[in-house]
C-alpha cells in the first residue's frame, strides 16, 4: 500500500534490494536500516559471518545487478533463536535478535557493534512508608512509543514528557514490614549513538479479543532533541535516517523501509528500490504506518 502512495521516483544507482521470499520482509527492512547505519558499517567486517556477507553483498551495487539474497542470514537467525520464519516476525523482534546474536558472538568488537543502540537506565524503587530504597541498573535497545489514549501524537512532545515511572499497590515492604505502596522511577543515564523507536500499534479489540492495528498517525521530525530524556553532557540531538513501515493485519501484514544514504532517501521493498524525490514523511499515509524509527546522534 505504501509503495503505491509514492510519487514518481528517480533512477537508482547506489542501493540494492533484497530478495523477499515468503515472510522475510521484516528481515529485509531491518537489514536496510542496518546497512545505512554508519558506525555499524564501520564494524561490520568483524560481526557474525552471515551478516557480514550480506552487508558486503549490498555494497556491490553496480547498476543492473540482481537483488541480494538474505536467506543465509535468515537461516542463521533461525539456528540462533529457534524462532520460525514460516510466519511473519515483527521487525522489532528481528532487530533485537540480530543485536543479541552479535552480543553473544564472543568477539568484543561484535558486542561493541550491538552496543550502538544500548540505552543505560537506573531504576529506583522506594517504599512510600519508610522510604527504603532499592537501586538497580538496566539496559534497553529501543524506546517504545505508545499512541492513542491521550498520548502526544508528536514524537518530540512524547520525548519531552517521557517517563517510565509507576506505582505498585499492595506491596509488602521487607524493611518496615508494612503493606504499602512502592514508587518506581526509571531514569535514562546514558543515551546511545543510535536511537531506535518502536511504535506500539497493536491493540486488543474488546469485542472480539483479537489484536488489531492502531493506524493513528505520528508526527516525526527530521531532527529530534532528547535533552529532556536524560541529564547528560553528551550531545542529545539526533537526525532521522531510517524508517520501517507496516501495512496490513497485525499478525502478518507487510514491512518495507525508507533509508537515508549519502543525504538521499530511498524506499526499499524487497527487491524494489526507489529514490524518493522528497522527504518520505510527506507521503500520504506514511505517518499512519510507521513501525520503527532510527535516529543517529548529530
pLDDT tens-place string over residues 108-137:
888 899 999 999 999 999 999 999 999 999
C-alpha to C-alpha distance for 12 and 4, rounded to whole angstroms: 18
C-alpha to C-alpha distance for 122 and 158, rounded to whole angstroms: 20
C-alpha to C-alpha distance for 17 and 282, rounded to whole angstroms: 23
> How many other C-beta atoms lie within 10 A of the C-beta of residue 209?
7
pLDDT above 90: percentage of residues in the chain: 49
CATH number of 3-119+142-161+192-297, picked from 3.40.1410.10, 2.60.40.10, 3.40.50.2000, 3.90.70.10:
3.90.70.10
Residue 177's pLDDT is: 95
Residue 129's pLDDT is: 95
237, β-bridge pairs: 225
Instruction: State the Cα torsion 66-270-140-144 to the nearest 10°.
Output: 160
* Residue partners of 157: CB distance under 8 A and separation at least 6: none
Q: How far is CA 162 from CA 62, 75, 101, 218, in A?
A: 44, 38, 29, 15
Q: Grid coordinates in use for 110?
A: 561484535
Residue that the C-alpha cell 516476525 belongs to: 89
Contact 7, 275 (CB under 8 A): no
Secondary structure letter of residue 48 according to DSSP: -
Residue 285's pLDDT is: 85
Model confidence over 17-30: pLDDT tens digits? 898 876 678 889 99
**For 263, how many CA atoms within 13 A lie in the half-sphere containing its CB?**
0
Q: Grid coordinates in use for 273?
A: 528500490
Residue 4's pLDDT is: 47
C-alpha to C-alpha distance for 201 and 291, rounded to whole angstroms: 8
Ranges of the chain whose pLDDT falls below 50: 1-2, 4-5, 7-12, 42, 45-47
Q: What residue ranges do the domains of the chain occupy?
A: 3-119+142-161+192-297
Contact 271, 28 (CB under 8 A): no
Contact 278, 267 (CB under 8 A): no
Question: What is the pTM for the complete model shown?
Answer: 0.86
Residue 46's pLDDT is: 39
Amino acid at each position: 500500500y505504501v509503495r503505491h502512495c509514492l510519487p514518481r521516483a528517480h533512477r537508482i544507482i547506489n542501493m540494492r534490494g533484497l530478495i523477499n521470499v515468503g515472510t522475510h520482509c521484516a528481515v529485509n527492512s531491518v537489514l536496510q536500516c542496518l546497512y545505512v547505519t554508519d558506525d555499524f558499517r564501520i564494524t561490520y567486517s568483524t560481526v557474525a559471518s552471515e551478516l557480514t556477507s550480506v552487508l558486503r553483498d549490498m555494497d556491490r551495487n553496480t547498476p543492473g545487478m540482481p537483488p541480494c539474497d538474505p536467506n543465509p542470514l535468515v537461516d542463521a537467525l533461525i539456528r540462533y533463536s529457534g524462532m520460525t520464519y514460516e510466519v511473519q516476525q515483527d521487525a522489532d523482534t528481528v532487530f533485537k535478535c540480530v543485536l543479541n546474536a552479535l552480543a553473544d558472538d564472543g568477539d568484543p568488537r561484535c558486542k561493541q557493534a550491538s552496543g550502538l543502540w544500548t540505552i543505560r537506565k537506573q531504576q529506583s524503587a522506594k517504599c512510600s512508608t519508610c522510604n527504603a530504597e532499592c537501586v538497580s541498573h538496566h539496559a534497553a535497545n529501543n524506546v517504545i512509543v505508545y499512541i492513542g489514549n491521550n498520548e502526544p501524537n508528536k514524537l518530540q512532545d512524547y520525548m519531552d514528557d517521557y517517563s517510565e515511572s509507576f506505582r505498585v499497590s499492595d506491596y509488602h515492604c521487607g524493611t518496615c514490614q508494612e503493606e504499602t505502596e512502592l514508587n518506581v522511577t526509571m531514569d535514562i543515564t546514558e543515551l546511545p549513538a543510535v536511537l531506535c523507536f518502536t511504535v506500539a500499534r497493536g491493540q486488543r479489540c474488546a469485542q472480539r479479543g483479537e489484536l488489531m492495528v492502531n493506524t493513528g498517525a505520528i508526527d516525526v521530525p527530521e531532527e529530534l532533541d532528547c535533552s529532556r530524556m536524560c541529564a547528560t553532557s553528551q550531545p542529545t540531538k539526533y537526525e532521522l535516517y531510517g524508517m520501517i513501515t507496516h501495512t496490513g493485519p497485525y499478525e502478518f501484514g507487510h514491512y518495507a523501509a525508507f533509508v537515508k544514504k549519502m543525504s538521499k532517501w530511498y524506499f526499499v521493498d524487497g527487491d524494489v528500490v526507489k529514490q524518493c524525490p522528497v522527504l518520505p514523511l510527506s507521503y500520504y499515509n506514511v505517518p499512519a504506518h510507521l513501525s520503527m524509527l532510527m535516529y543517529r546522534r548529530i
